[in-house]
Amino acid sequence: MIPAAFDYVRAGSADEAAALLAEHGDEAKLLAGGMSLLPLMKLRLAVPSVLVDVGRLDDLKYVREDGESIAIGALTRHRELETSDLLAKRCGVLRAVAAEVGDNQVRHRGTIGGSVAHGDPASDLPAVLLALDAELVARGRSGERVLSASEFFRGFLETALEPDELLTEIRVPTPGPDGYDYQKFNRRAQDWAIVGSLAVRVDGHTNVALVNMAPTPLRAIAVEQALASGASVVDAAAQAAEGTEAMGDVNASVEYREHLARVLTRRALEAAARP
């Protein structure tokens, strides 16, 4: 399968990429690693007439300390995240979840910015950004703005990015040495999560984010509130399907996904609570 023909432009800078997006509007797509976009283009589910390649913007490839946060360039590959010494020390959860994305070949090419901007609710990394209340930096022709993870994911494959904006940086508050666990349920190791549940302990409370339980990644608010008011892990996890909008598909019915959300959340909470 071969993508439909397109015009190819290699952007030399983030500003140039934003200008190209502004010039071509909805006809243009950004290409980072291509791990999400190229399969869609091969299936002709995406048919951009202009492809703006930002994959060589090396100044957007970094993981560095930024005060109390870790700043990550949008073009940082999953491989760099899963082997980052800085993340091992300051944000182990992001490193661990990055190692769960796809397979080695995918992690060699795929980028955190591409994954997040794609807005697929089955992606692993958005759960981390939601659970840690990360910030996302978008750059457009009119300058930069900072979005919270909670306002970034708008719908299925839909984010708060404007048509002329690209994601340049992700800022993750560091949760410290507290526990975390990510439970990803799939049929084959390399597959997308049928359901995922991430539990992270931050400053004495526990945040939970769910993967593939709605058109967007989402926080399990009912679980978090139950835990905050003293419920046991088992009782709190029983609330995991509250407020979700799971879809049924060839892999799982709605009811099965809701069941998985409860079971995986219990396992994640139990594992995150271990010292």
Partner 1 sequence: MMPPVQISVNVNGAARSYDAEPRTLLVQYLREQCGLTGTKVGCDTSSCGACTVLVDGESVKSCTMLAVQADGSDVTTIEGLASGGEWHPVQQAFHEYHGLQCGYCTAGMVLAAVSFLEENPSPSERDVRLGLEGNLCRCTGYHNIVQSVLAAAETMRAAR
User: What residues make contact with partner 1 under the rule CB under 8 A?
Assistant: 1-8, 31, 34-35, 38-39, 42, 51, 53, 55, 79, 102-106, 108-109, 188-190
The least distance separating partner 1 from the CB of residue 61, rounded to whole angstroms, comes to 14
| Cα–Cα distance measured from residue 141 to residue 272, given in angstroms and rounded to the nearest whole number | 42
| Cα–Cα distance measured from residue 57 to residue 173, given in angstroms and rounded to the nearest whole number | 25
Is residue 64 within 8 A of residue 86, CB to CB? The reply is yes
The least distance separating partner 1 from the CB of residue 194, rounded to whole angstroms, comes to 15
The least distance separating partner 1 from the CB of residue 203, rounded to whole angstroms, comes to 33
Of 157, 94, 88, whose CA–CA distance to 127 is shortest? 94
The least distance separating partner 1 from the CB of residue 2, rounded to whole angstroms, comes to 6
The least distance separating partner 1 from the CB of residue 152, rounded to whole angstroms, comes to 26
Tell me whether residue 1 or residue 204 sits nearer to partner 1 (CB atom): 1
Tell me whether residue 82 or residue 135 sits nearer to partner 1 (CB atom): 82
Retrieve residue 205's tokens: 């409370």
CA distances from 72 to 63, 66, 95, 102 (A): 5, 10, 12, 20
Tell me whether residue 4 or residue 234 sits nearer to partner 1 (CB atom): 4
Tell me whether residue 34 or residue 243 sits nearer to partner 1 (CB atom): 34
Tell me whether residue 106 or residue 254 sits nearer to partner 1 (CB atom): 106
Of 47, 35, 56, 37, whose CA–CA distance to 6 is shortest? 47
